[in-house]
Amino acid sequence: MDDIKHDTRGRRQFLAGGAKAAGAIAAGSMAAMQNASAQVNGPEWMHQPGSLSKGYGQPSEFEEKVQRAWGTGYPTVSPGTGASRTPLQSINGSITPSGLHFERHHNGVPKIDPDKHELTLHGMVNQPLVFSVKDLLRYPMVSRVHFIECAGNSGANTLPAAPQQNVQAIHGLFSNTEWTGIPLSILLEEAGVDPQASWLLAEGGDAAAMSRSFPLAKGLGDAMLALYQNGERIRPEQGYPMRLLLPGYQGNMSVKWLRRLKVTNEPTHTKDETSKYTNLLPDGKAHQFPFVLGVKSIITHPSGATKMPGRGFYEISGLAWSGAGRIVKVEVSTDGGASWREAKLDGQPQSKAAVRFRFPWDWTGSPALLQSRATDDEGRVQPSRAAWTPTYSAANRFHNNMIQTWAVAADGGVNNVYA
């Protein structure tokens, strides 16, 4: 209590002194003087105590417009089916807040009671195992930052004409968070995998029973049974009480609400991996199991469907990632790829995780074409539109990692263009 009294007295003395000084400087203008004394006395919220703490915090009410957005193109044939996208234009840094992580549900978000949920590990194992959530919470865990990207992310930019949309609508099926969970290898070792086994099947506990096959090597590698996200238990939309996390693989394979893992010696060819998530090739054949996502970057600031207020300084910034490893370089072009300069990477890039890049830019007011190009530690370089397009059928919408262009017009308007 004493400390608080002292502080208050000190503050009053400071304010009185400050008011005198500011008054002297502003002398001669009544309005300026009133303004100055309002400045010194502080805004209204300094004249009453603030609100009490809340059990669980929310963003400022002035940030209410920062929301996930439902994309178009999802007929509501089955309720809860669709995707909502991360507002990449409104956030900064590299971590996506949990409440803004994009969502893709094939049949809605199940409400799972963790006391009733079980994970079964069976198939080609010495000892089939059934784990309760309570059992799993006692295992040793690891925390790592990883992105999840839907195979359909940026699919709009494979359409014949460039959609006039913002970065959220075009690229928002992408988020990057910290995951904490059990290395899958620990559970597989406990069950004892048959030496003849080579694949795994993962099944979700949603009404879609979404299921995918993945190589056993991935399961024994960096695969994780994730229980926490950004420090708290995984949210229902992201797979509560647990999800499979296959870092760097197409998002679909990170099966949410995981209820079953089966060890096999071949892929199961589930409906989810035969009807979708393949790449259609120019000759009409489909490339199945294109697991590892390409090296990619997108500029989020400035970005599509916004207006730059005028010439002068801008920080061009965005996110870069690779499904194969670590980002080592991001280059930025302001002239549509004629010349490139290296951007600064925020912090130490991690494997299969997004890194924020930043590039200072003085906009002269002339039209400009903004592009970014990422390189990973496997030597993969993000392809141009001209290089990417002939690799696939014109009807293919998946796995678009090509360099993307924002056109800045003389009036400051920013739009998605093909270049």
Ligand X SMILES: Nc1nc2c(c(=O)[nH]1)N[C@H]1C(S)=C(S)[C@@H](COP(=O)(O)O)O[C@H]1N2
Contact criterion met (CB below 8 Å) for 146 and 286: no
Cis status of the peptide bond prior to 241, with omega within 30 of 0: yes
- 106 binds, options Mo ion, ligand X, none, Cβ within 5 to 8 A by partner type: ligand X
Nearer to ligand X, 106 or 373 (CB): 106
Q: How far is the CB of 147 from ligand X (least distance, A)?
A: 10
Does position 150 interact with ligand X (CB under 6 A)? The reply is yes
Nearer to ligand X, 100 or 332 (CB): 100
Nearer to ligand X, 172 or 383 (CB): 172
Q: How far is the CB of 352 from Mo ion (least distance, A)?
A: 16
Contact criterion met (CB below 8 Å) for 409 and 306: no
Q: How far is the CB of 50 from ligand X (least distance, A)?
A: 34
Nearer to ligand X, 7 or 232 (CB): 232
Strand-strand pairing, 224-229 and 243-245:
antiparallel
Q: At what angle do helices 30-41 and 2-26 cross, to 10 degrees?
A: 170
Sites of contact with Mo ion (CB under 5 A): 104, 150, 251-252
Does position 252 interact with ligand X (CB under 6 A)? The reply is yes
Query: Residues with Cβ < 8 Å from 27, sequence gap 6 or more?
Result: 33
Q: Which among 123-131, 164-172, 201-209, 305-313 is the span making contact with ligand X, rule CB under 6 A?
A: 201-209
Q: How far is CA 33 from CA 16, 21, 186, 327, in A?
A: 14, 11, 70, 54
Query: Residues with Cβ < 8 Å from 349, sequence gap 6 or more?
Result: 320, 326, 327, 328, 355
Nearer to ligand X, 99 or 365 (CB): 99
Q: CA 184 to CA 292: how far, in whole Å?
A: 18
Does position 256 interact with ligand X (CB under 6 A)? The reply is yes
- 352 binds, options ligand X, Mo ion, none, Cβ within 5 to 8 A by partner type: none
Nearer to ligand X, 292 or 408 (CB): 292
* Binding residue count for ligand X, defined by CB under 6 A: 20
Q: CA 417 to CA 408: how far, in whole Å?
A: 10
Q: Which one-letter amino acid corresponds to residue 109?
A: V
Q: How far is the CB of 208 from Mo ion (least distance, A)?
A: 12
Q: How far is the CB of 81 from ligand X (least distance, A)?
A: 8
Q: Which of residues 76-105 bind ligand X (CB under 6 A)?
A: 101-105
Contact criterion met (CB below 8 Å) for 328 and 345: no
268 DSSP assignment: -
Among 36, 170, 200, 255, binds ligand X (CB under 6 A): 255
The contact set with ligand X (CB under 6 A) reads: 101-106, 148, 150, 204, 206, 208, 210, 237-238, 251-252, 254-257
